[in-house]
Chain A
Amino acid sequence: MKRTIPAVIAGVTGTVMIIAFFIPPAQKWQQTAEIWFTILTAIAFLIGGTNLCLHHLKKVAHQQTGWGFSAVTLAAFFITIFFGLTKWGVPAAEKFPDYPWSGSYMDEGGGMWWLYEYVMSPVVATMFSLLAFYVASAAFRAFRAKNVEAMLLLVTAFIVLLGRTYAGTVLTSWVPESMSALTFPGLTGVIMAVFTTAGQRAIMIGIALGIAAISLRIILGLDRSYLGSDKN
């Protein structure tokens, strides 16, 4: 039963989604299914919050490795909840100037806004900017000419890299206009438009077919491994 009911729900919902794509009157059912998913997600937020607190409280209580990070996480969690629920510092809405809580919790000047603007955004930007360094280290490893394939990759990457920069344009500026396809920007255009696009499309077609197959396995109940076990 524990697996059967979710499998039936998944099968019915999946079928409704397919039918609604082709039969307009069924779109109401699709919307209902989407609303139910939203409701479930909202309930899941409570489960997530509880899980987060319990997980990190245990770590702090037992002083496990890295418990200091858990303490910071918990502090950040409760501070954010406090500012979000109390609307601390939120200016009153223009329509209701006499009611200090009438503004939106994310209005400029409020505590939540301040946290987002001066804590969250810089931290996220920092994490994202690390990507530049990791791209460099991954590229260095990927472009080592270990074999023929790696050599081809290296040469192709070199052409595309130069073709996308001003240096590539300058280096091949002497090439006559009639042979512009042989310049670095020209070659880059051909590589991107023909070889890369062809490869990506092949992958996309495979993905689309793979999605169709796995969706059918789920709708027909052939694959239930994602649902856990019937046993307790």
Chain B
Amino acid sequence: MRNPNSETRNPQEARNPKGDMCSLCAGSNFRFWISFGFLALMFVVPRNMLAADIAPPTGLVVKDRPNDAANGLIVTWSLSPDDDPTAQPKRVTQYEISRQADGGEWSAIAKVPAGNTLIEDTNCEPGKKYRYRVVALGPDAAASAPVETAEAFQPVMQWVDTRRLWFGAIVAFICGAVIVCTELAKHGAATYVRPIAALTALDEAVGRATEMGRPMLFVPGIVDLDQIETIAGLTVLSRVAKTAAEYDAVLEVPTSRTLVMTAAQECVEAACLEAGRPESFNPDRIYYVTDEQFGYVAYVCGWTTREKPAACFYLGKFFAESLLLSEVGNSVGAIQIAGTAEASQLPFFVAACDYTLLGEELFAASAYLSREPQQLGTLKGQDAGKVLAAVLLLGGCLLATWAAFQPQSVGAEAYHYFREVVLNKGGA
């Protein structure tokens, strides 16, 4: 008979007061074997075996990524049966995708959240073969057994991006029209270009500055030379600089990009030479300020306030600074001519400037100012593009109306094709 209040009771008895413990668990041997077994699991058994309770994903499929230069594969799989978004806590939190190139080392390339069944591996190298492995990961470093592709896949090169065929056809039509019209203009076909008030006013603005004896400001946008608006702005700069050289007016061109500064210097120098006034060229008037948007604005606004130019030209790509620059120019009473292809900035220029080149007018400026038949021919070709755009708009509206009234008709299918294939995929 044991005394339950005995102070000398050993721990084994305390855990099992009935005293019916088996001999294997007796004494300190029990704790040793438990610890040993745990350590064995830690060091001998692979990590993913420990978490064998997470079911692996299934149905791993690899296929070529279409319309690329043999640098992409698409990996898809079916969700792990344990990937249940409603489960709390979630048993699968993400999937880890690994890749093996040409039988080399496996390396993890992506982790995607649970519920996803696809990745596009766009970092493949042409000519190499790849195998893929997907593992479902859970909380606390739990992982499922990996599922691997049995064979290696090689990305295939496509020679034409078929998604862009329609867009290519539209581009070919417009470019063809431009080239045909240019050739016609070369051979003497007359081209009428409507007067553009802002471009007509360029000479007026330069003349005003000359009469007032005050400088002019030219801002060729705030982006680099790889933007077509900057190029368009520089073509107008050539004309303004030529007129300024003829009238002996002072032209200031602060730039926010170094390459633009270099190109602007070349333009102005060429214009001065063309005007027969090479001595008018002063490179100190064309300089770099800063790449920083509002730093540039601060400088130009400060200069405008101090020097009070008689004419300000803003031609190029502009963002939030458009209104700051033009309002300061307006406050000093300068005649202002602006032009940009940024639709969101056009209202600001319209509100603050005397003349504004709206979008395409900026790009037409060089042709308009040069009056060269070849360049004017490109504007005529542009009109062919507008006709095409109008036809597409009208056709699209009719098809959409047809589809709205008869959703099961041929018209609905045509509308779907037009919207999804002809329009949506074009810019993809």
Cβ B274 vs Cβ A229 within 8 A: yes
- When C-beta atoms are compared, the residue in chain B nearest to A18 turns out to be B171
Cβ B367 vs Cβ A21 within 8 A: no
Cα-based distance from A139 to B389 in the complex (angstroms): 33
B83 interface residue, CB < 8 Å from A? no
Cα-based distance from A23 to B159 in the complex (angstroms): 6
Cα-based distance from A222 to B374 in the complex (angstroms): 7
Which residues on B sit within 8 Å (CB–CB) of A40?
259
Which residues on B sit within 8 Å (CB–CB) of A52?
287-290
Contact of A23 among B161, B297, B378 (CB under 8 A): B161
Q: Which of B254-300 contact A (CB under 8 A)?
A: 257-259, 261-263, 265-267, 269-270, 273-274, 284, 287-295, 297-298
B145 interface residue, CB < 8 Å from A? no
Contact of B262 among A24, A44, A139, A200 (CB under 8 A): A44
B27 interface residue, CB < 8 Å from A? no
Cβ A138 vs Cβ B69 within 8 A: no
Which residues on B sit within 8 Å (CB–CB) of A222?
182, 372, 374-375, 378
Which residues on B sit within 8 Å (CB–CB) of A229?
266, 269-270, 273-274
- When C-beta atoms are compared, the residue in chain A nearest to B342 turns out to be A207
Cβ B294 vs Cβ A123 within 8 A: yes
In the complex where A48-B261, A203-B343, A216-B179 touch, is A223 in contact with B224 (Cβ < 8 A)?
no
Cβ A127 vs Cβ B366 within 8 A: no
Which residues on B sit within 8 Å (CB–CB) of A138?
323, 326-327, 348, 351-352
Cβ B359 vs Cβ A206 within 8 A: yes
Number of B interface residues in the complex (CB < 8 A): 88
A134 interface residue, CB < 8 Å from B? yes
Q: Which of B320-369 contact A (CB under 8 A)?
A: 320, 323-324, 326-327, 330, 341, 343, 346, 348, 350-352, 358-364, 366-367
Cα-based distance from A209 to B238 in the complex (angstroms): 23
Give chain A nearest CB distance to B163 CB in angstroms: 10
Cβ B370 vs Cβ A225 within 8 A: yes
Q: Which of A128-186 contact B (CB under 8 A)?
A: 128, 130-131, 134-135, 137-139, 141-142
Which of B2-10, B33-41, B229-237 lines the interface with chain A? B229-237
Cα-based distance from A100 to B298 in the complex (angstroms): 36
Q: Which of B142-197 contact A (CB under 8 A)?
A: 157-161, 164, 168, 171, 174-175, 178-179, 182
Which residues on A sit within 8 Å (CB–CB) of B62?
none
Number of A-B contacts (CB under 8 A): 205
Give chain A nearest CB distance to B306 CB in angstroms: 6
Interface of B: prevailing SS: helix
Q: Which of A193-232 contact B (CB under 8 A)?
A: 200, 203-207, 209-218, 220, 222-223, 225-229, 231
Give chain A nearest CB distance to B386 CB in angstroms: 6
- When C-beta atoms are compared, the residue in chain B nearest to A124 turns out to be B294
In the complex where A123-B294, A211-B228, A217-B375 touch, is A130 in contact with B324 (Cβ < 8 A)?
yes
Number of A interface residues in the complex (CB < 8 A): 61
A32 interface residue, CB < 8 Å from B? no
Contact of B238 among A120, A124, A203, A226 (CB under 8 A): A226
Cβ B341 vs Cβ A211 within 8 A: yes
In the complex where A138-B348, A142-B351 touch, is A210 in contact with B360 (Cβ < 8 A)?
yes
Which residues on A sit within 8 Å (CB–CB) of B362?
210
Cβ B359 vs Cβ A207 within 8 A: yes
Give chain B nearest CB distance to A121 CB in angstroms: 10
B98 interface residue, CB < 8 Å from A? no
A51 interface residue, CB < 8 Å from B? yes
A-B contact pairs, 28 of them (CB 8 A): A21-B164, A23-B159, A23-B161, A24-B67, A24-B70, A24-B160, A47-B262, A48-B258, A51-B288, A58-B284, A65-B307, A141-B352, A206-B359, A213-B178, A213-B363, A213-B364, A214-B378, A215-B228, A217-B367, A223-B367, A225-B234, A226-B235, A226-B238, A227-B266, A227-B270, A228-B269, A229-B270, A229-B274
Q: Which residues of A contact B (CB under 8 A)?
A: 18, 21-25, 27-28, 37, 40-41, 44-45, 47-48, 51-52, 55, 58, 65-66, 69, 120, 123-124, 127-128, 130-131, 134-135, 137-139, 141-142, 200, 203-207, 209-218, 220, 222-223, 225-229, 231
* A-B CB proximity, top 8 nearest: A228-B266, A229-B270, A210-B363, A210-B360, A48-B258, A44-B258, A206-B360, A24-B69
